[in-house]
Structure 1
């Protein structure tokens, strides 16, 4: 409902909102220009009497002196029978420039206030201002939902494209836009009688005037007591009429001054309603608050972009998800895929799953979650892929799912699996997927596979889920979808170190630079194609092998500041990409790209870090140690086959021990006399490991899946006296795995 409340008015009023915003931004420049042209004395430096005396010396025919909201002083006068108006210097009374309102700004103001349509246009502009109030309030609430709470509004947003631009600009501009919209709506409501408008009649003309000989204006006591900063207007008496008076308007009120005695004859303070109205005008236009005008103008300039990106987001939600033409009929399908998506990203994963299952021989029907049928007569498997909107809400294509589920009748025949898509930075990560999983379980469906969640559309996590799903379904298949096909950069191999030939485990440390990068600029990673993305150890290098359908990923052992891209690769039997990389010679080039992996990083701080790996899994762990320039406690447990053949990074690790970037090193070699594995070393060192975990240590594990299972079991055993377990540490971000 909130999205409709925000989206529909925005779509209908987009063009008029853009017109008001652009003209408002232009008008916001006027106070700045007026302020720049004005000479502003210090507070108390010039009185109104002094100003008037100086002006009269240069303009004997002065009729009126006006101080504008931005501090500029304008004199209106007659000279040789002709009226004139000049901008003057209040310190001297000299002419600064002729004063004439800009025809362009007058036209823009008319367009802004009324769309050049007089009262009907003013009413329309007021309505659009009220629509902007609605959009700002609903937009703020949507931002809160999107980010996961009010506090999260200050955190960086994720995502890309129009949705990211829309959210970031809205966060920047919403307060300024809301202020402009509220004040504009207030003034419009007053103009058309929806709110009371203060009426300033001013004081009655004084009944008793001295009628004496006028004295110089610079000597009038009433004007001497008023500072220039308080002046709004001084109207001079009619020439040669001793019964006329000066009319003085200040910030506080209006009165009359006797031109002979200098006495303030009558004075009427300004009403509270009038003061409020003037404040509203100043807050809307920036008059008298030139810095606020700049802020409001900058905020207004975001509206055209918000309008365009908002329309794009709406269109993206409305367009067809583009399913393949071989989508099976509901009545004939044996497998059902339901998709919950806000911006169609999840549909890409669903199409890959749909196509792969089709190739595997399944009859697959795929539709949005809102289209849940009452029953699926031939289906035995229900797969739900859904994102989460905001702080646990249903995405656009799943808003009616829970209601439709109440009437669903297929619970006795279907087994289901739920896959959630989200972002771990939000406190309720994949919350809607969790709701769906629980609702299906409560409905009586049997789980085919426990719910899993994918962070930031991670392609490798999707592939791993596909492997496990394949096992449960009893049919081999592989999912290789990448939602954002990356632009690759040419990388040149500059150095390699080879290990493991004697133990039939050929492994190489490969170091690349961007092809064509100039010496001395490697850390900036400039290439002929542009700047290479920044990266850290633990991020992934995607490599496109020859004739390969999908990229293979290798954990980086280096950071961008190291000036190289370093990976550790073991040649796998029949490995398409590992064999390709292992066969490279210095000077050969590959195509690669960076995929960030912020979920696998050592925590910041002084708590101990326990690094555990085997084989080529040492790569990112060595990178973490290299970056430990703060010399925080860091311990490495690593396993290989033979110390003489495949002790990867042996020289570097010795150096890190010497300079204390590495606090302790414990190695295990399976083809040695000891015949030990890394989990054996952990058990031997369990007292120290337990003590470090109890002190807040974080554990990072990198390597093969079998090794990770053995390590996990060893850590579980070690943790038992502490009344905690691996899952508890994982929930705290203290047990991280990068497993292949």
Structure 2
């Protein structure tokens, strides 16, 4: 809901808010320039002194005005000819032309009304309201993404366009809220929608005398120039006219014959508020603040461009679903929870098959779940991927909370189909959470929960046949997963291990492919990645990719993986036979659930065999010298001590605090879980101090590590399960 409220007004009002912000940014320069160029009155100068000097230079002076920048302008008549000049207060003489800056006037008219009068003012007010709404919705979205206000400036991951959008917003949002709020206030003031200030009533009686020198008038002598706004002189030859003085404190009338104060009215509260708002919006009287707000306003077009890029990238990832029926007329409702777009591909296949079978089908993201709209629904099918370590994907935000707030379960039965990868501990965790929530709500089942492993077309077809039986139709789902855009990677070096123990293993380093500007903006291909992310390799002779954990980040300048040759393994066999200069076809997949996380808390990295890959990448990238303790299991140090050459260097550089190895084929064979037990006291202390545990390797090793940690932590009242619940224990197992 919030995302839609942010996206659509932003896209619709983009041109308007861009004009508003760019013109505002340009106008913010003028108050500062005026402040620098205008001659300033000396400290302590009074209005009386200033008036005397100007009247001496221009006897026909009619009015003196002082701008918030300190610029003083005098207006006069000389033998019937009007004149005006910017005044040097030291002499009372003209120092510069008082003609308005035509560029500033043009920009002001553009900014206020688009040169369209009152209609344009209303349009720009709508733009300001849109900017205010976008600011508030953006704040809520950022807060939700980073996990609360305390993490407002936390480091971000993801495509460049999305990161730039948020980074700019985090800095500029205060200025945008201030500028848009003050703009709306000023528009309301222009249309007399706010209370006005008062002026004193014109005096009924005056002395009838004239020619009392302004320099001798008590109030002018007491008023410093810094408080002056305007001093108007009496009309020549009219003894009943008066001096009018406007200052920061109020407005008053002075007798031209005696200098006496005839009437005075202080500024009203509303006037003071309006003047403060005018200062905040225009920078008049606060030039530095104006420049800061102008710089923040420049963030609007930048956020507009990056926002459009993010939107276009999202649209490209989601396939077009033909023949999507209105929600109120559809018999079958498909709700899709997808992060990268692949689940939408399955939804499109299912939608097409059901439509061919004569069903009316409506597909929508899970975030748009609205049972009241499904008035003709006979069934609801949920296709749900999982993001990270069991979280909801992007298009399913808010589904569970919306389901929980329903008074009763929807009348149409539900079927939940989860999509995931069994190599991850949180396999289909979000789909399972949806199924459990539906059961708790009393929502009747159309089909039991089922799952699709690694986008398997066979699993999907099997599930489809089961759905067809329930519906009484023949339903064949022939889905061909669409792979992400691939890159050709060229091997530049390799290091071989494990031949002596019949476990051929290689560290393969590929050249980093060049990223286009679009890829950098959208984070596509290899434009941005980090250790722990996954690389999909397409072996020759098979359309099914194999996934490997990355041992490098983009900042390392190369793509690196660790591969062990599996008996009969097609992809591993091809990779371990690869020679420098040869190429592979690959794509990148994010793996946010297996990352060290932020902060300074210690890390305990546990791995065996090729599981060292991402762990070595974490150590290599530990430039901030976060305490890292690495437990690594191998067969024999002479054969498969992967990254053995780098380990001492990383320790010397402070990237690695402790290295503990476990050798399974030595004089005293032991495994990495045994090494943990040997260091039980230190491990328990680190975890009590907030350490995060990352485990990478085979399933049996991971199970043994979990058992060892359970024993180690038992006296402390902690457990691996409790650490997982806190996000302090994550696994990447295969």
> How many pairs does the alignment contain?
687
1:620 to 614, 618, 621: 614
Structure 1 658/143 Cα, relative in aligned 2: closer, same or farther at 3 Å?
A: closer
TM-score w.r.t. the length of structure 2 is 0.74
**Counterpart residue number, 2:502:** 504
Structure 1, residues 669-724: CA drift from partner, whole Å, max 9, x if none?
Answer: 24x55454433444566566556545554433222233223332333344444443
- Larger deviation: 144-153 or 277-286? 144-153
C-alpha displacement at 1:735, in angstroms?
Answer: 2.1
Structure 1, residues 609-635: CA drift from partner, whole Å, max 9, x if none?
Answer: 443222222233344455668887654
Structure 1, residues 47-79: CA drift from partner, whole Å, max 9, x if none?
Answer: 223323333444343322211122211111234
**Counterpart residue number, 2:563:** 569
**Aligned mates of 1:184, 1:143 — CA distance in 2:** 24
**Counterpart residue number, 2:37:** 37
Structure 1 297/437 Cα, relative in aligned 2: closer, same or farther at 3 Å?
A: farther
**Counterpart residue number, 2:329:** none
**Counterpart residue number, 2:206:** 207
Structure 1 286/726 Cα, relative in aligned 2: closer, same or farther at 3 Å?
A: same
1:247 to 229, 244, 260: 244
Q: Is the 8 A contact 1:418 1:437 kept in 2?
A: no
Q: Is the 8 A contact 2:339 2:385 kept in 1?
A: no
Please say if 1:232 is aligned against 2:229: yes
- Larger deviation: 96-105 or 642-651? 642-651
Q: What is the 5 A alignment of 1:349-364?
A: 349-352=343-346
Please say if 1:406 is aligned against 2:409: yes
**Aligned mates of 1:10, 1:534 — CA distance in 2:** 26
**Aligned mates of 1:173, 1:161 — CA distance in 2:** 18
Q: Is the 8 A contact 2:507 2:561 kept in 1?
A: yes
**Aligned mates of 1:161, 1:626 — CA distance in 2:** 23
**Aligned mates of 2:107, 2:685 — CA distance in 1:** 72
**Aligned mates of 1:665, 1:478 — CA distance in 2:** 50
Please say if 1:713 is aligned against 2:710: no
Structure 1 562/30 Cα, relative in aligned 2: closer, same or farther at 3 Å?
A: closer
**Counterpart residue number, 2:577:** 583
Q: Is the 8 A contact 1:71 1:229 kept in 2?
A: yes
**Counterpart residue number, 2:336:** 340
Q: Is the 8 A contact 2:230 2:245 kept in 1?
A: yes
Structure 1, residues 172-195: CA drift from partner, whole Å, max 9, x if none?
Answer: 554444444444444444454544
**Aligned mates of 1:159, 1:629 — CA distance in 2:** 20
- Larger deviation: 563-572 or 398-407? 398-407
**Counterpart residue number, 1:282:** 279
**Aligned mates of 2:119, 2:349 — CA distance in 1:** 57
Structure 1 126/168 Cα, relative in aligned 2: closer, same or farther at 3 Å?
A: same
**Counterpart residue number, 1:72:** 71
Please say if 1:61 is aligned against 2:43: no
**Counterpart residue number, 2:196:** 197
**Aligned mates of 2:90, 2:542 — CA distance in 1:** 79
**Counterpart residue number, 1:424:** none
**Aligned mates of 1:45, 1:12 — CA distance in 2:** 53
Q: Is the 8 A contact 2:432 2:449 kept in 1?
A: no
Please say if 1:669 is aligned against 2:664: yes
**Aligned mates of 1:356, 1:37 — CA distance in 2:** 70
Q: Is the 8 A contact 1:492 1:514 kept in 2?
A: no
- Larger deviation: 169-178 or 318-327? 318-327
Q: Is the 8 A contact 1:643 1:669 kept in 2?
A: no
C-alpha displacement at 1:438, in angstroms?
Answer: 0.8
Please say if 1:702 is aligned against 2:707: no
Structure 1 32/595 Cα, relative in aligned 2: closer, same or farther at 3 Å?
A: farther
Q: Is the 8 A contact 1:339 1:385 kept in 2?
A: no
**Counterpart residue number, 1:639:** 633
SS at match of 2:92: coil
Structure 1, residues 430-458: CA drift from partner, whole Å, max 9, x if none?
Answer: 9898456412454254995699xxxxxxx
Q: Is the 8 A contact 1:148 1:391 kept in 2?
A: no
C-alpha displacement at 1:250, in angstroms?
Answer: 1.5
Structure 1 516/716 Cα, relative in aligned 2: closer, same or farther at 3 Å?
A: closer
Structure 1 491/209 Cα, relative in aligned 2: closer, same or farther at 3 Å?
A: farther
**Counterpart residue number, 2:474:** none
Please say if 1:726 is aligned against 2:720: yes
**Aligned mates of 1:643, 1:261 — CA distance in 2:** 105
**Aligned mates of 2:73, 2:464 — CA distance in 1:** 88
Name stretches of at least 5 consecutive residues in structure 2 with no aligned partner. Answer: 325-331, 387-391, 422-427, 466-476
Q: Is the 8 A contact 1:493 1:589 kept in 2?
A: no
Structure 1, residues 124-181: CA drift from partner, whole Å, max 9, x if none?
Answer: 6556655665565555556555665554555456655877666665555544444444
C-alpha displacement at 1:83, in angstroms?
Answer: 1.4
SS at match of 2:640: coil
**Aligned mates of 2:437, 2:258 — CA distance in 1:** 88
Q: Is the 8 A contact 1:162 1:309 kept in 2?
A: yes
- Larger deviation: 118-127 or 310-319? 310-319
Q: Is the 8 A contact 2:249 2:267 kept in 1?
A: yes
Structure 1 159/197 Cα, relative in aligned 2: closer, same or farther at 3 Å?
A: farther
SS at match of 1:645: helix
Q: Is the 8 A contact 2:419 2:453 kept in 1?
A: no
Structure 1 733/32 Cα, relative in aligned 2: closer, same or farther at 3 Å?
A: same
Structure 1 641/551 Cα, relative in aligned 2: closer, same or farther at 3 Å?
A: same
Task: Give me the CA root mean square deviation.
Answer: 5.4
C-alpha displacement at 1:504, in angstroms?
Answer: 1.9
Structure 1 152/300 Cα, relative in aligned 2: closer, same or farther at 3 Å?
A: same
Structure 1 736/358 Cα, relative in aligned 2: closer, same or farther at 3 Å?
A: farther
**Aligned mates of 1:629, 1:162 — CA distance in 2:** 25
**Counterpart residue number, 2:291:** 294
Structure 1 577/297 Cα, relative in aligned 2: closer, same or farther at 3 Å?
A: same
C-alpha displacement at 1:94, in angstroms?
Answer: 3.9
Structure 1 201/340 Cα, relative in aligned 2: closer, same or farther at 3 Å?
A: farther
C-alpha displacement at 1:570, in angstroms?
Answer: 1.5
Q: Is the 8 A contact 2:491 2:508 kept in 1?
A: no
Structure 1, residues 261-295: CA drift from partner, whole Å, max 9, x if none?
Answer: 65545443333333333333333433323334334
Q: What is the 5 A alignment of 1:150-161?
A: 150-155=149-154, 160=159
**Aligned mates of 1:626, 1:107 — CA distance in 2:** 56
SS at match of 2:639: coil
C-alpha displacement at 1:543, in angstroms?
Answer: 5.1
**Counterpart residue number, 2:45:** 46
Q: Is the 8 A contact 1:198 1:273 kept in 2?
A: yes
**Aligned mates of 1:164, 1:630 — CA distance in 2:** 22
**Aligned mates of 2:399, 2:533 — CA distance in 1:** 31
Structure 1 468/96 Cα, relative in aligned 2: closer, same or farther at 3 Å?
A: farther
**Aligned mates of 2:307, 2:556 — CA distance in 1:** 41
**Counterpart residue number, 1:648:** 642
SS at match of 1:84: strand
C-alpha displacement at 1:85, in angstroms?
Answer: 1.2
C-alpha displacement at 1:466, in angstroms?
Answer: 5.9
Q: Is the 8 A contact 1:513 1:565 kept in 2?
A: yes
Structure 1, residues 344-373: CA drift from partner, whole Å, max 9, x if none?
Answer: 7564323158769999xxx99894355977
**Aligned mates of 1:191, 1:473 — CA distance in 2:** 65
Q: Is the 8 A contact 2:336 2:395 kept in 1?
A: no
